[in-house]
Chain A
Amino acid sequence: MPEEYVEDRDGMKIRKLAELRTVTDKTYEEAMIRRVDEFKEQKKDKSQFNDVIQNTFFKAFSTAFDLKIQVDKALGEDNLKKLHKALDEFLLLGL
């Protein structure tokens, strides 16, 4: 944390933040995984996190999503805009 301070009218020192760094960026992921484990434990078979099919689906989906990010970067902004517009129309078609 940078050593920058401001003082209030009573002379109280306050940290002036210039960045919002986590202790480790993994802490958030760990908190999320801990919560998932809690649901697994609490709800046993009723938890989606204990469902093999769903876990496999979301794992696969996540991998596909990572790929999509790479493709987005390769496409460039203009092409991406056109793609989004076309996809929007397609996904709303017939509803």
Chain B
Amino acid sequence: MYHLDDDEYLNTPYYRKTGSVCPECLEPIGAEVYEENDEIWMRKTCEEHGQFKDKISSSAKYYKWTHWAVKDKGGNVIWKFDKDGESNPPDCVGEDPRGCPYNCGLCPEHLSTCSLALIDLTNRCNFNCNFCYANVQKSGYLVEPSLEEIDRIMKHFRSKPIPAIAIMFTGGEPTVRKDFPEICKMAKDNGFKEVIVATNGYGMSRKKGGFEWTKRVKEAGLDTLYFQFDGINDITYEKTRGIKNLMAYKQRVIDNCRKAGLDSIVLVATIAKGVTDIEVGNIIQYAIDNVDVVRGITFQPVSLCGRIAYEERQDLRITNADILKIIEEQTGGKIGMENAWYPLSTIVEFGRVIAYLADVEPIEFTCHPDCGFASYMVVDPDSGEMMPIMEYFDPLKVIDFANRFWAKIKHKEKKQLRIFEDLLGDFGKTLDNGLNFLDKTQLRARFLLGVLQYMKKPGKLMEMFSRLLMRGDWESVSSFSYGALLLSSMHFQDAYNMDIERTKRCIVHFGVAMPDGSVKEISFCTMNTIHRPIIEKQIAKQITPKIKNEFDTTTGQAVEEIEQEIARNGGIKKEEEE
């Protein structure tokens, strides 16, 4: 794999100790991550509830590669995928003696800053998916922050020394809120560069008013749809969402976004064995066919909630490595498991150099290598076919150059040149500013040349990449990403495979407005595995019969909308067209 094929490291069995939780009582227990039959497993024992074992990766080779470290001649680690981030100051002291993950809020043990802020806008939803945790029907209470509370959460994320750049609205289904456009505008007013909604497409899909609504939210500031998309076959949605003929609904969302100019859609596919895994290739081709509006695909191996027996769990369990294998198989080997993918944390130093040189807010993907991987697909100018961006340049050389460059200049981030200020006062300060500007300009030129020497293909995309390297601003990042298709995977943890080393490095954080006026910042996986029921009980509101019966979750339509439709059709209910 990659450059490690002849390395002894790949032949050494993998083993490490970590912390986890008992899936039954959620109390802290130790865990071992180890290699068995070319796979990586986790085992842990709770004194009360016995032993648990779960698969972490179906490929020991891939897993070991993502845990590889560069060592100097003395055997000291000088670089690895698994790294600590530049964390913000903690929000709480962490009073629970059990430590991480029980002190979320965030506590001093957290090692990454937040790259993506999440706000649950509501737990109301027009669907009733059987594996979903956030649903008003199942919980029996309403969780829906007010506009003032949402504003408070946004200000919390934006006021940090390293502020979150992107925000995602989640749920339930966020677009069922009538004030959703106002919330998008609020996010922009608070300074978020990228405003995203995780949605099944409800607001955009409505037959009556869907287009106008899409246009309205786009104008209000919504940048990207993180769009639930399990495949292109109706039967798949019947299995995953329990709704018939859902592909027409999904297509309507794409069409309305296209018409409204909302041209940044990320298809999000929850991958479950034997259910949606067969659709992976279809989804990739669908994205390519709709490249004018689809910017990327995120595959999410299903995380398992509740008590599930070992055998059943192994039937359902799918890991990042499985996704890579499936992608390779279903794209005829065009996106190879062994040469197309990198953990998200690969580009941390690269990003730091760009942020420092361009004086922009850094984006730190310091999540654990087990969390996810990514690759850009780009058009090969010679063949017109899509190929991994790794064929555009030599990734290891670029990464290595960026790492060495950062190691040499990182001291400058903390201490700027200051030569004349003490001697000449304000005039000297101006001279020092000039010197710092010149210094950064020469560094930019060096970095640009250093990276571009390893590029292999010409064209407009490379011009945009040069802009990204030189300027590092949102315009460059965003424009570059429009010329490529981002493929990624994010494997969320559950109580069976929770690894505290991952949890501490989480970069996707929920913000929750608490009744005492504070904001709790909680990492994604611990929120869903541990904290959600406790937190929600503190902020829950009573549901009214109107809310309970708001949607027909067998069709995904609002009851009011169905009644209007029946009235228009002279009292006859029409089924969704195939």
Contacts of B236 in A (CB 8 A): 12
Q: How many A-B residue pairs have CB under 8 A?
A: 159
Q: Are A20 and B288 also in contact (CB < 8 A) when A35-B478, A69-B458 are?
A: yes
A21-B479 Cα distance, complex, nearest whole Å: 22
**Main SS class of interface, B:** helix
Contacts of B482 in A (CB 8 A): 28, 31-32, 34-35
The answer to whether B291 touches A28 (Cβ under 8 A) is yes
Residue on B with the closest CB to A94? B408
Q: Is B279 an interface residue (CB 8 A)?
A: yes
The answer to whether A65 touches B458 (Cβ under 8 A) is yes
The answer to whether B475 touches A47 (Cβ under 8 A) is yes
CB contacts under 8 Å to A, within B450-489, are 450, 452-464, 466-467, 471, 473, 475-476, 478-480, 482-485
Residue-by-residue, is B481-523 near A (CB-CB < 8 Å gives 1, otherwise 0)? 0111100000000000000000000000000000000000000
The answer to whether B278 touches A20 (Cβ under 8 A) is no
Contacts of B335 in A (CB 8 A): 20
B342 to A: closest C-beta gap in Å: 19
Choice from A10, A31, A84 contacting B291 with Cβ under 8 Å = A31
The answer to whether A9 touches B274 (Cβ under 8 A) is yes
Residue on A with the closest CB to B445? A91
**Main SS class of interface, A:** helix
Q: Is B405 an interface residue (CB 8 A)?
A: yes
B308 to A: closest C-beta gap in Å: 21
Choice from B384, B405, B408, B452 contacting A25 with Cβ under 8 Å = B384
Q: Are A10 and B235 also in contact (CB < 8 A) when A16-B332, A65-B466, A84-B397 are?
A: yes
CB contacts under 8 Å to B, within A10-68, are 10, 12, 14-25, 27-36, 39, 43, 47-49, 58-59, 61-62, 65-66, 68
Q: Are A91 and B288 also in contact (CB < 8 A) when A28-B379, A65-B458, A66-B458 are?
A: no
Q: Is A74 an interface residue (CB 8 A)?
A: no
The answer to whether B284 touches A17 (Cβ under 8 A) is yes
Q: Is A88 an interface residue (CB 8 A)?
A: yes
Q: Is B419 an interface residue (CB 8 A)?
A: no
Contacts of A24 in B (CB 8 A): 384
A22-B409 Cα distance, complex, nearest whole Å: 41
The answer to whether B476 touches A48 (Cβ under 8 A) is yes
Residue on A with the closest CB to B295? A31
B452 to A: closest C-beta gap in Å: 6
The answer to whether A22 touches B379 (Cβ under 8 A) is yes
Chain B, interface size category, equals 35 or more
The answer to whether A12 touches B285 (Cβ under 8 A) is no
Contacts of B288 in A (CB 8 A): 20-23
Q: Is B378 an interface residue (CB 8 A)?
A: yes
Q: Is B435 an interface residue (CB 8 A)?
A: no
The answer to whether B457 touches A69 (Cβ under 8 A) is yes
The answer to whether B467 touches A17 (Cβ under 8 A) is no
A66-B462 Cα distance, complex, nearest whole Å: 10
The answer to whether B463 touches A58 (Cβ under 8 A) is yes
The answer to whether A20 touches B449 (Cβ under 8 A) is no
A31-B293 Cα distance, complex, nearest whole Å: 8
Residue on A with the closest CB to B233? A12
Contacts of B289 in A (CB 8 A): 23
The answer to whether A19 touches B385 (Cβ under 8 A) is yes
Choice from B235, B331, B456, B480 contacting A32 with Cβ under 8 Å = B480
A67 to B: closest C-beta gap in Å: 9
B233 to A: closest C-beta gap in Å: 6
Residue-by-residue, is B149-174 near A (CB-CB < 8 Å gives 1, otherwise 0)? 00000000000000000000000000
Q: Is B255 an interface residue (CB 8 A)?
A: no
Residue on A with the closest CB to B462? A65
Residue-by-residue, is A66-86 near B (CB-CB < 8 Å gives 1, otherwise 0)? 101100100000000001100
The answer to whether B467 touches A58 (Cβ under 8 A) is yes
Q: Is B35 an interface residue (CB 8 A)?
A: no
Choice from B282, B385, B460, B479 contacting A20 with Cβ under 8 Å = B385
Q: Are A17 and B278 also in contact (CB < 8 A) when A35-B478, A62-B462, A69-B458 are?
A: no
A65-B464 Cα distance, complex, nearest whole Å: 12
The answer to whether A39 touches B332 (Cβ under 8 A) is no
Q: Is B390 an interface residue (CB 8 A)?
A: no
A32 to B: closest C-beta gap in Å: 4
A23-B485 Cα distance, complex, nearest whole Å: 14
A14 to B: closest C-beta gap in Å: 5
Contacts of B67 in A (CB 8 A): none
Q: Is B39 an interface residue (CB 8 A)?
A: no
Contacts of B331 in A (CB 8 A): 17, 20
Q: Is B334 an interface residue (CB 8 A)?
A: yes
A25-B384 Cα distance, complex, nearest whole Å: 5
Contacts of B332 in A (CB 8 A): 16-19
CB contacts under 8 Å to A, within B366-393, are 377-381, 384-387
Q: Is B330 an interface residue (CB 8 A)?
A: yes
The answer to whether A15 touches B478 (Cβ under 8 A) is no
Contacts of B405 in A (CB 8 A): 91-92, 95
The answer to whether B466 touches A6 (Cβ under 8 A) is no
The answer to whether B483 touches A29 (Cβ under 8 A) is yes
Cross-chain pairs A/B with CB under 8 angstroms, 10 sampled:
A6-B278, A16-B281, A22-B384, A23-B291, A27-B292, A28-B461, A29-B483, A69-B455, A87-B449, A92-B405
The 10 A-B pairs of least Cβ separation, nearest first, read: A32-B483, A95-B408, A18-B332, A20-B386, A25-B384, A35-B482, A62-B463, A25-B379, A66-B458, A17-B281
Q: Which residues of A contact B (CB under 8 A)?
A: 1, 6, 8-10, 12, 14-25, 27-36, 39, 43, 47-49, 58-59, 61-62, 65-66, 68-69, 72, 83-84, 87-88, 91-92, 95
Q: Which residues of B contact A (CB under 8 A)?
A: 233, 235-236, 263, 274, 278-279, 281-282, 284-285, 288-289, 291-292, 330-332, 334-335, 377-381, 384-387, 397, 401, 404-405, 408-409, 443, 446-447, 449-450, 452-464, 466-467, 471, 473, 475-476, 478-480, 482-485
